[in-house]
Structure 1
Amino acid sequence: MSGIALNNWSRPKGQADTTTRAIIIALVVVLCLQLALALTKSVNWDEFFHFSQIHAAWRGEPVGGILQRPFVPLYAWVPSLDGTNIEHIQLIRSLIMPFELLLIVAIVAVASKFADFRTALLCGLAYATAGYAFTQGLALRADVIAASLVMSALAIGFHWRLGPITLGVIAALTGLAFIANIKVVLYLPAFIALAFVRWDDLKRWIWLAPVGAAIGLGALAIFAPEIIAMLSKKLTGSFDRMFGGGLFPQTMHWVRQSAMASVFTVQLVGFVVWMFKGRSNQKPALALLALPALWPVIYFNAYPYFFAFILPPVAVALAPVIKIAAQRYGALALTAVFTLNGAALYLMEPRSVQANQAEVQDMVSTAFPTPVTYIDESGMVGDFPRAVPQFASGWALSNYLKDGEPLYSQAIMSQPVPMVLVNSLTLRNAFSDAPFGERLLPQDETLLRDNYIQHAGIVMVAGKHFGAGEEARTQLIAVPGEYRIEGAALFVDGEIHEVGSVIQLDRARYNFVNLGQNRASLRWAQAGDPRSSDITFLDLYSGY
């Protein structure tokens, strides 16, 4: 709007002063700590899943289209490198750092339109140390990639001369951000703020919006109709998931974020107070930029990684409050407080869990030096193909139970699946009589329990146990392949097989008899000797 006083994008004249250099150094330190954390903290279940999608694409398997998966084409080359799955995920985390840098530059650029350059830098530092924004900023996810693109679009909108070319660049960046993550629609208040501020320049080009949208949709309809169908299905299916959880659907994460980003939270409270004091023609735009801070009140998926995605425009909105705090307490003091907040987050994050994850990966690779098809919760062994490529929990589990299709039985009976990784409560329940927690369909649980035995901690391999002196019983072998006889000699369809012998069994029913005094076992021959491990699914993650 005309009359809104905005600051120009300019650095302090002459040599950057000591305080400005100190803020920049603090930002560098914080980003180094963030990278160091990314290389040592545990891998989240979502990250394992996303890494398994990268491997699936590398093998030439479909991964469900291009929406919300920018990491697949960006890092599809990583599986070709030497190294373990954990090392590859660490590499991808480090490769997300350029997007994090771009995001912070964009925050500083937008904030510089509402405050001086030094305050804008402090806004960038405020975001970089804001709780989950610090701990989740380099996660193998689409969030920071999308946020960097959409914030870059906003920065260009606030700074460049508006015209067809500029608006085309903004549209292209926003479109890429939307493809990367459809949650970009939650940035709508920030774009309304941009329109509010730049209306005098924008109004003569506003007719380009419907024309551009029509051209874009027409091009998709002609050249990529599958994208429109996919987008329509995605948006329809996501709405209830996004907003169907009532108020504060993720209260625990919101409370933890408020505590972990205590300095940021105090500034946000100060912003609310500032909004009710005095007059400023910047307030409408800043209020719109701050509005995304309210999404966790109604947004169902407000998990920790969501804060890394949604807080950038909020950090910009804090500019006037950060400036007041810097004037009152000193910019260096505020810089130190923000930096200490980031350092505390770095020190508080558990480090031992990644070793547990690496041990499980080692147990799997020892049992199966060559990848085999397997079942698990999240794609934890990314370089192995999954028999059921979805989660065994959450939304995927709910849909699976609602549909009533025994996906696990269907997968096992359609191809050899020699391994099950029990890395969730649901899968653990399939091998126990635990009276609590969600379970798979009874048909799936029965087939899993009857056809897999423990091999190394949570690593289960195809096999069966037969009690000492057990009379004849007919059993289905659901996983065809070579099995080793262990513990005691075993009659299979009337033919005796001694301990240590390896037999080929098809997918069929066999008559088994154990006449010995010890338990007899069939174990997938390729898996080698069993191995002890105390690691359970409870030891695999340290939260997000």
Structure 2
Amino acid sequence: MTGIALQGWLRPSENADNTARVAIIALGLVLCLQLALAFTKSINWDEFYHFSQIHAAWRGEDVGSLLQRPFVPLFSWVPSLGGSNIENIQLIRSLIIPFELLLVGAIVAAATKFTDFRTAVLCGLAYATAGYAFTQGLALRADVIAASLVMTALAVGLHRELRPATLPIMGVLTALAFVATIKVVLYLPAFLALVVLRWEDLKRWIWVAPFAGVLGLGLLALTMPDALTSLGRTLSGSFDRMFGGGVFPQHMHWVRQSAMASVFTVLLIGFAVWLFKAKSAQKTPLALLALPALWPAIYFNSYPYFFAFILPPVAVALAPVIKIAAKRYGALALTAIFTLNAVALFLMEPRSVQTNQAAVQNLVNSAFPEPVAYIDESGMIGDFPRAVPQFASGWALNNYLSRGEPIYSQAIMAQPVPLILSNSLTLRNAFSDEPIGERLLPKDAALLRDNYIQQAGIVMVAGKQLDGGSERVAELVAVPGAYRVEGGAIRIDGHVYEPGSVVALERQSYDLANTGNSIVTLRWAAAGTPQASDITFLDLYSGY
């Protein structure tokens, strides 16, 4: 008797009607953990870059086409609320939660086409706790925004009658997702699954697709001609970047994802076995829905955030395997395993990195209470205008080096740029006696090294240092402005300035001389007193 009771407790999915409610509660808990993580998880370099674009739009600057960055129009009002860059990014992360809710809801809705409601909820829970899908779900990126739209379009197509009133809704949702990110093309297998399932309904309206495509492009050309041009450039230059990295180009991220979402990975393997063994009319559409799981094998940008984007249709495809697992081990047991995986990911996420990021921003604000033009890797000081609005690494660095155009020197000579944040290896190397790895063009590196000095750790300000007894003839001052004399007297074009003096220098060459024995410094006067900081660019990120 006891054994029967124990078996019933272990398999509540077979004798209890409230397991769906428990799974929904667990899903709510997971989403709450995601929301909490949004306020403590380190901010990625891409998120800083995206926020700098949002701030630039708020300042009224031309940020170019809004294609591939829906967060700009959606959140361009956030900087008007005040607060620090960190606080604003935290807020925007929290504002992505409605898209996450829509995405999980669309997964559940789509899964009910293939299974019962309780299993469909478990499909949503499987996705929400699936490694990087959990940690990257609220990142300031286009991925979850686009995924929520395209999955909603799929859910509508799976459940609603396909007629002229339904197809435009699906088309608009998919078009908006495509504008958000062209990676939506990777959902093509999922749409093929829809075609297989609904062919009898779709074949009457199949002619609508090319007509709608031509009409949509025509409307885009009329209303946003620049956007259409930008879309053409993006598409023409994207294929090699998307698929030119060989097999498993980001294999380490794939390995980590497989480990972080171990239950999801096991279920995916189980699904492959089910495909070979099961006799079901649903095999073909479910296989097509699962096919996006293979994109990391060839897709170059299979970084952690990509898994949050590409796994939703895969979670739907797992419905039959999840149902088998729930029947064998109990729906509550499966719910607990999924939830504990999310709790473990939440607890393992390092919190100290965001503290370092906030500390660096405080150092910058201490030296520059008001925004100034600056150079850095990723737009980390979003409320300051960037003199060079691109990354100093990756594809941007490669393109910059291949062009051979000293854009950093050009930017500094075009306007006063009193601040550099050496928050990448490339920029750090410009100030290093022993550079290792990625570097700027020699002309750019020399100009930075000769015109900036350390203010606080990686915070560099306009300035120069002269060793005792040294002299520099025709020394270029690239950043015009007021400089404070520190450490001893300095002679500039024959005029002697005592320590503490403030001298206004133009963008021109000067004869500088230090007649004393100690180091003399010319420091950007508004920067204030130098501060100590042991935070390096290696302490600013925890990966993704």
TM range (shorter): over 0.9
Question: How far did residue 413 of structure 1 move?
Answer: 0.3
Task: Give the Cα–Cα distance (whole angstroms) in 1 for the partners of residues 77 and 229 of structure 2.
Answer: 29
Q: Does 1:25 align with 2:15?
A: no
Task: Give the Cα–Cα distance (whole angstroms) in 2 for the partners of residues 352 and 218 of structure 1.
Answer: 50
Paired amino acid for 1:143: D
SS at match of 1:510: strand
SS at match of 2:462: strand
Task: Give the Cα–Cα distance (whole angstroms) in 1 for the partners of residues 373 and 471 of structure 2.
Answer: 33
SS at match of 2:510: strand
Question: How far did residue 22 of structure 1 move?
Answer: 0.6
SS at match of 1:164: coil
Question: How far did residue 17 of structure 1 move?
Answer: 3.0
Q: Does 1:447 align with 2:447?
A: yes
Question: How far did residue 219 of structure 1 move?
Answer: 2.1
Residue of structure 2 in register with 1:363 after alignment: 363
Residue of structure 2 in register with 1:158 after alignment: 158
Residue of structure 2 in register with 1:392 after alignment: 392
Task: Give the Cα–Cα distance (whole angstroms) in 2 for the partners of residues 429 and 223 of structure 1.
Answer: 45
Which aligned pairs between 1:462-481 and structure 2 lie closer than 5 A? 462-481=462-481
- Over 3 Å counting, the alpha-carbon distance change for 1:472 and 1:107 in structure 2 is closer
Paired amino acid for 2:144: V
Paired amino acid for 1:250: Q
Misfit runs of 4+, over 4 Å = none
Aligned residues: 529
Q: Does 1:541 align with 2:541?
A: yes
Task: Give the Cα–Cα distance (whole angstroms) in 2 for the partners of residues 26 and 471 of structure 1.
Answer: 70
SS at match of 2:113: coil
Does the 8 Å contact 1:126/1:338 carry over to 2? yes
Which aligned pairs between 1:470-509 and structure 2 lie closer than 5 A? 470-509=470-509
Task: Give the Cα–Cα distance (whole angstroms) in 2 for the partners of residues 278 and 498 of structure 1.
Answer: 87
Task: Give the Cα–Cα distance (whole angstroms) in 2 for the partners of residues 172 and 39 of structure 1.
Answer: 33
Question: How far did residue 221 of structure 1 move?
Answer: 2.7
**Segment of structure 1 superposing worse, 100-109 or 156-165:** 156-165
Does the 8 Å contact 1:472/1:514 carry over to 2? no
Output one character per residue of 1:321-344: Cα deviation in whole Å (capped at 9) or x when no partner.
Answer: 000000000000000000001000
Which aligned pairs between 1:98-247 and structure 2 lie closer than 5 A? 98-247=98-247
Does the 8 Å contact 2:65/2:226 carry over to 1? no
SS at match of 1:417: coil
Residue of structure 1 in register with 2:519 after alignment: 519
**Segment of structure 1 superposing worse, 430-439 or 377-386:** 430-439
Structure 2 residues without counterparts, runs of 5 or longer: 1-15
SS at match of 1:405: coil
SS at match of 2:471: coil
> Scaled by the length of structure 2, what TM-score is found?
0.96
Which aligned pairs between 1:213-362 and structure 2 lie closer than 5 A? 213-362=213-362
Does the 8 Å contact 1:461/1:524 carry over to 2? yes
SS at match of 1:463: strand
Task: Give the Cα–Cα distance (whole angstroms) in 1 for the partners of residues 424 and 223 of structure 2.
Answer: 42
Does the 8 Å contact 1:472/1:513 carry over to 2? yes
Question: How far did residue 478 of structure 1 move?
Answer: 0.1
SS at match of 2:203: helix
Residue of structure 2 in register with 1:410 after alignment: 410
- Over 3 Å counting, the alpha-carbon distance change for 1:472 and 1:386 in structure 2 is closer
Task: Give the Cα–Cα distance (whole angstroms) in 2 for the partners of residues 355 and 250 of structure 1.
Answer: 28
Question: How far did residue 220 of structure 1 move?
Answer: 2.4
Task: Give the Cα–Cα distance (whole angstroms) in 1 for the partners of residues 134 and 127 of structure 2.
Answer: 8
Residue of structure 2 in register with 1:5 after alignment: none
Does the 8 Å contact 2:78/2:88 carry over to 1? yes
Question: How far did residue 472 of structure 1 move?
Answer: 4.7
Paired amino acid for 2:510: Y
Task: Give the Cα–Cα distance (whole angstroms) in 2 for the partners of residues 269 and 59 of structure 1.
Answer: 50
Question: How far did residue 435 of structure 1 move?
Answer: 4.4
Question: How far did residue 211 of structure 1 move?
Answer: 1.4
Question: How far did residue 160 of structure 1 move?
Answer: 0.9
Residue of structure 2 in register with 1:36 after alignment: 36
Paired amino acid for 2:500: G
Residue of structure 2 in register with 1:379 after alignment: 379
> Scaled by the length of structure 1, what TM-score is found?
0.96
Does the 8 Å contact 1:51/1:89 carry over to 2? yes
Task: Give the Cα–Cα distance (whole angstroms) in 2 for the partners of residues 438 and 23 of structure 1.
Answer: 48
**Segment of structure 1 superposing worse, 152-161 or 471-480:** 471-480
Paired amino acid for 1:428: R
Task: Give the Cα–Cα distance (whole angstroms) in 2 for the partners of residues 233 and 129 of structure 1.
Answer: 36
Task: Give the Cα–Cα distance (whole angstroms) in 2 for the partners of residues 445 and 514 of structure 1.
Answer: 24
Residue of structure 1 in register with 2:7 after alignment: none
Paired amino acid for 1:25: I
Task: Give the Cα–Cα distance (whole angstroms) in 2 for the partners of residues 149 and 525 of structure 1.
Answer: 51
The percent identity for this pair of structures is 73
SS at match of 1:455: strand
SS at match of 2:420: strand
Q: CA RMSD of the aligned region, Å?
A: 0.9
SS at match of 1:205: coil
SS at match of 1:485: strand
Structure 1 residues without counterparts, runs of 5 or longer: 1-15
Residue of structure 2 in register with 1:529 after alignment: 529
Output one character per residue of 1:435-483: Cα deviation in whole Å (capped at 9) or x when no partner.
Answer: 4211000000000000000001100000000001113533100000000
**Segment of structure 1 superposing worse, 121-130 or 58-67:** 58-67
Question: How far did residue 223 of structure 1 move?
Answer: 3.2
Task: Give the Cα–Cα distance (whole angstroms) in 1 for the partners of residues 483 and 441 of structure 2.
Answer: 27
Paired amino acid for 1:488: G
**Segment of structure 1 superposing worse, 468-477 or 530-539:** 468-477
